[in-house]
Structure 1
Amino acid sequence: RPDFSTAPKLPDFLNSASATVAHIESLAARVNEAQRLREEADVESELLFASYLKATRHQLLENGFPKSKIGDVAVVTSGGTPSRDNPTYWGGDIPWIKTGELIDGDIYDSEEHITEEGMKNSSARLFPPETILIALYGQGQTRGRTARLMIEATTNQACCAILPTPEILDSRFTQYWQRSLYYEMREKSHGGAQPNWNGGMIKNIEIALPPLDEQRRIVAYLDGLQAKVNALRGLQSASGEELSALMSSVLDRAFKGEI
């Protein structure tokens, strides 16, 4: 039977490698924890803003302002898709927007464009700037997302278009109002007989109608909050990239024997 009591000790480089692995694992655990906290902060900031939007909507509905159905103070319609089989309908200079491009911001251009012929031979229609778009259906978190047109553009049929009566309803106020309903409407349609939204649902949404000056004051305040949330997300994105770069740097140094 071999006597291991006199076996030579592990070479120094193996001991060093073992220590390096332990050090890398410790650093990786700390980086992963920092990334987890960053992701949590990102989610919490969005939920906090959504909660404030919801509270603002409830307060406005209870403050005695006139109320109306959106369909009574705005045109509510949708777009269409030219046939993909006809190449002359595509590649023009008319913006054509899909629901995946609706991310609760402003739209200045689109991923795809159609031609005048394509628009005329489909149910697509040209919407003016200040039109508010809502994703009636889409993958993941898309359903219920919004956008404000800053250009003339067409959309596909999955986008609901709201054209507010300008003397009554501010477009940005309308967009924030719809955003305040995002989680509620998704919850109502989740797993039910009506998983997608439709134009009728949008038309029947009740909206408070403060004077236009008050609507714009509310919008300015919400814009300020949104800017702070965006700034926080920017920091979180930067920190996420820095954490990923840090881990790559640690591994690179380890392979070079610098750790």
Structure 2
Amino acid sequence: MPELPEVETVKRTLNALIAGKQIHNVTVRLPRIIQRPDDIQAFAYMLQGHKFIGVERRGKFLRFILDGLVMVSHLRMEGRYGVYSSSDPLDKHTHVIFHFTDGTELRYTDVRQFGTMHLFQPGEDLLLPPLNKLGLEPLDDSFTADRFKALVAGKSTKIKPLLLNQEYVVGIGNIYVDESLHRAGIHPEETAKSLTAGQLDKLHGAIVATLSEAVDAGGSSIKSYVNGQGESGRFQQELLIYGRKNQPCATCGTMIEKSVVGGRGTHYCPSCQPVPTAAVKPLTTGV
């Protein structure tokens, strides 16, 4: 699933591609993608004639800002947006097409068919699901070390599942949680309440640095992710821990291990990230 850096990159490329374009009409080929309104004809009718002003991001969601409407979209596992000429061949996994008055089209493709779109009046999208319970934005100026510590300190939850919970901090998924915890020298099974103020300061800095570097690199193309122009990310070349089971840690040379934490495959260095007493046993099979 695309995480914050990937969604941020899609946002930036789409802003360059669709800002100012006016919708002539909309074709919905897979109704379940449209979550709000629940009538696909109403969805298409509401968008007809509107112009895209720009694209914003909230956590892992895209916010398409139009003149008088906001469309909230989640890519889920393999959703993609791309801009094409109306004469370009149509991929069989194309589910929603925004036909523009200039003869181009914004197409949404999704092999897994898990993506969603919600349409709102301006302002109400932030007050209603799916955006209304999202937590702090880690690349926003409001994400200070003090706010992060106040949010996390005292929680009995293990630190990895807590960071994956979008009601606390948004946009960080499995890849960047593993990377941030490694940089901070914190084992993913440490409970939040066991971490010192100094450790939380270090973790805060690691989250910001990891995500910022990933955004600069265009995200990580671990599986099928590409941006709005069909380009792959480059940050997977810089990953220190994720996907590197049984490879030497770049910091100390110890072999990287993989376990399951909160139901998610988790990579860590047992030397750089000391294992808590209650840690699970490493996986001995698989990758």
For Structure 1 versus Structure 2, the TM-score category normalised by the shorter chain is: under 0.3
Larger helix proportion of the pair:
1
Larger strand proportion of the pair:
2
Structure number with larger C-alpha Rg = 1
TM-score (norm 1): 0.27
Task: Return the structure number with greater relative CO, CA threshold 8 A, min gap 6.
Answer: 1
